[in-house]
Amino acid sequence: MPSTREIRRRIRSVRNMSQITRAMEMVSASKMRRAQQNVTASRPYSERIEEVIADLSAIELDADEMNQFPLLQQREVKRSAVILITPDKGLTGSLNSNIIRRATRYVLHEANVPVEVIAAGKKGRDFMIRTHQEIAAEFTAIGDRPTLDDIRPIVEVALNDFESGKVDAVYVVYAKFVNTLSQVPEARQVLPIRRPEGRGTYTDYIFEPSPVEVLNALLPRYIEVQVYQAMLESIASEHSARMVAMRNATENAKDLVTDLSLSYNKARQSQITREVSEIAAGANALR
Amino acid sequence: MASVDKLTVEIVTGERIVFTEENVDMVVAPGIEGSLGILPHHAPLVTLLSEGELRITKAGHEESIVVFGGFMEVTGDRVIVLADTAERAEEIDLARAEAARQTAERSLRERGPGGVQDLAVAERAMARSAVRLRIGQRRAGRRVPTIGSGSDN
């Protein structure tokens, strides 16, 4: 039986911890709100660009013209790349390992070809280095409010490798933000671009300067936006996962304090009882 | 409701919706091959945008937006602008733009060891700040009422 002093010390340290986790929960809560707003704010752009591409997909392209759009080319996949978006930090409950598990499943079972990893985020990078995967590029410290400019280098690597023929498909693995309690790791193909179903009503577009130049400017932007969106969702997922994890930690600490207080009181009481009986015994002996 | 012979305009960037308005009479955009005006019933069009001022006219009022590159799609009476960067004229921070212009000027003059790439970056920064300044200053001098901004400026 630990002494009352030891128990008291533990209670104090658990209380301190719960204060920290509660503070972290609140920080994550406000960051999460911010991140969710960013996800919502960036959605219109990706919806519109998708619409524009869908509009343009009504235009028929023959094989010759198709060759001018390398990003649309479906080749036999001999190598693929995966952009792995993870948080830089831990304390996110099971989120990090879920994302990494999803990526691992892709690399080991689904790809069936050699895979190179473009790591965005420290946790994913560390895991891939530890397991001796091929890392094409790594990006860390992206921050909580990335702009399109911040993720452009990531997309650049993927585009270069795809256009040079080093890889024939590019996937993004990220944590899709469903709601505060649920984040689903997802693997989504971004390259080659699958043209959305043609819903375009017009086929006689005027292009300035030319169809080839417009599409070749538009398509990379489309990839950027998809990766950007995935990044923002991952950030929202990270903060909500951390918020929930920290809330659980705070609850656990509270339970622990209750248990410890009970043992403390028991220990105190038995100590008092012992002292009383010792005094009584002493008094008896003197009589 | 948008009526038949008016335009619906949406200007979005990757980060946010900059401007959206219905019942617009005319849009003048900085196309890559020169300024182009869009009136209702324009033929379907997709164009690259350069840097410059995008003007939107609605019921005699004019709204001015700076765009830096991007795309514009016109279908029927809908104008979608996917800008790389865009700001409403009244959002332009003149002091910051001026500071940016001076920095760009200095790095152009002193031309560091970075070579061609640095030069291109500086020239771009220079052009951007010049556009911001031009439009921002004109707006500050004019003080016209703008669409949809009410009394908040």
Domain count, chain A: 1
Strand B45-58 to A206-208 pairing = parallel
| Chain A residues within an 8 Å CB radius of B80 | 48, 51-52
Residue A277 tokens read as 């009986």
Give the closest-approach CA distance of A93 to chain B in angstroms.
Answer: 29
pLDDT digits (tens, 9 = 90+) for B40-75: 888 888 899 988 888 888 888 888 888 888 889 898
Hunting for tokens 């705070």 — which residue is that?
A: A250
CATH class of B7-90: mainly beta
Residue of A nearest to B49 (CA): A208
Segments of chain A with pLDDT less than 70: 1, 58-63, 196-203
Residue B6 pLDDT exceeds 80: yes
Question: Nearest Cβ partner of A148 from B14, B47, B80?
Answer: B14
Going A237 to A239 to A240 to A244, the CA torsion angle's sign is: positive
Summarize pLDDT for B103-141 with one digit per residue, the tens.
877 777 776 555 666 667 777 777 777 777 777 777 666
Query: Per the CB < 8 Å rule, is B12 touching A48?
Result: yes
Q: Does any CB of chain A come closer than 8 Å to the CB of residue B57?
A: no
Is B86:B70 a contact under the CB 8 Å cutoff? yes
Task: Give the number of other Cβ atoms within 10 Å of residue B143's Cβ.
Answer: 9
CB contact under 8 A, A42 and B32: no
The pLDDT assigned to A108 comes to 87
Flag whether residue B125 sits within 8 Å of chain A, measured between CB atoms. no
Q: Compute φ and ψ for A265, nearest 5 degrees.
A: -65, -40
Q: Is residue A132 part of a domain?
A: yes
Whether A213 sits inside 8 A of B48 (CB atoms) is yes
CB contact under 8 A, A45 and B33: no
Tokens 């003048």, located at residue: B28
The CA–CA distances, whole Å, from B151 to A81, B143, B146, B148 equal: 52, 12, 9, 9
* Per-residue pLDDT at A254: 94
Task: Name the percent of chain A in helix, strand, coil, to the closest 5.
Answer: 60, 15, 25
Mean pLDDT over residues B15-30, rounded? 88
What is residue B150's predicted lDDT score, i.e. its pLDDT? 45
Q: Is B90 exposed, middle or buried (0-12, 13-18, 19+ CB in 10 A)?
A: middle
**pLDDT computed for residue B153 by the predictor:** 38
CB contact (8 A) between residue A208 and residue B13: no
- Which chain B residues have a beta carbon less than 8 Å from that of A51? 80
The 3-class SS string of A178-244 reads EECCEEEEEEEEEECCCCCCCCCCCCCCEEECCHHHHHHHHHHHHHHHHHHHHHHHHHHHHHHHHHH
Q: Does any CB of chain A come closer than 8 Å to the CB of residue B48?
A: yes
Q: Are A55 and B71 an interchain contact pair (Cβ–Cβ within 8 Å)?
A: no
Show the tokens assigned to B70.
């991007």
Residue type, A219: L
Residues of A in contact with B75 (CB under 8 A): 55, 201-202
* pTM, to two decimals: 0.81
Q: Best of B35, B45, B48, B74 to disrupt the A interface by mutation (most A CBs within 10 Å)?
A: B48
Alpha carbon distance B35, B53 (integer Å):
9
Residue A267 falls inside a structural domain: no
Beta strands (DSSP E) in A60-141 are 80-85, 115-120, 134-139
Residue B119 in contact with partner chain A when CB distance is under 8 A: no
- Supply the pLDDT for residue A62: 66
Residue B143 has pLDDT above 60, yes or no: no
CATH of the domain at A213: 3.40.1380.10
The pLDDT value given to residue A196: 65
ipTM: 0.70
Average confidence score pLDDT of chain B: 79
Query: CA B125 to CA B105: how far, in whole Å?
Result: 9
Domain extent listing, chain B: 7-90, 92-139
Return the HEC string of chain B: CCCCCCEEEEEECCCCEEEEEEEECEEEEEECCEEEEECCCCCCEEEEEEEEEEEEEECCEEEEEEEEEEEEEEECCEEEEEEEEEEEHHHCCHHHHHHHHHHHHHHHHHCCCCCHHHHHHHHHHHHHHHHHHHHHHHHHHHCCCCCCCCCCC
Interface contact B15-A147, CB threshold 8 A: yes
B84: exposed, middle or buried (C-beta count within 10 Å: 0-12, 13-18, 19+)?
A: middle
Q: pLDDT per residue over A150-167, tens digit each?
A: 888 899 999 999 988 888
Q: Show the domain range for A123.
A: 22-244
Q: Are the Cβ atoms of B48 and A217 closer than 8 angstroms?
A: yes
Residue A60 is predicted with a pLDDT of 65
| Chain A partners within 8 Å of B45 (Cβ) | 205-208
Residues of B in contact with A214 (CB under 8 A): 46-48, 71
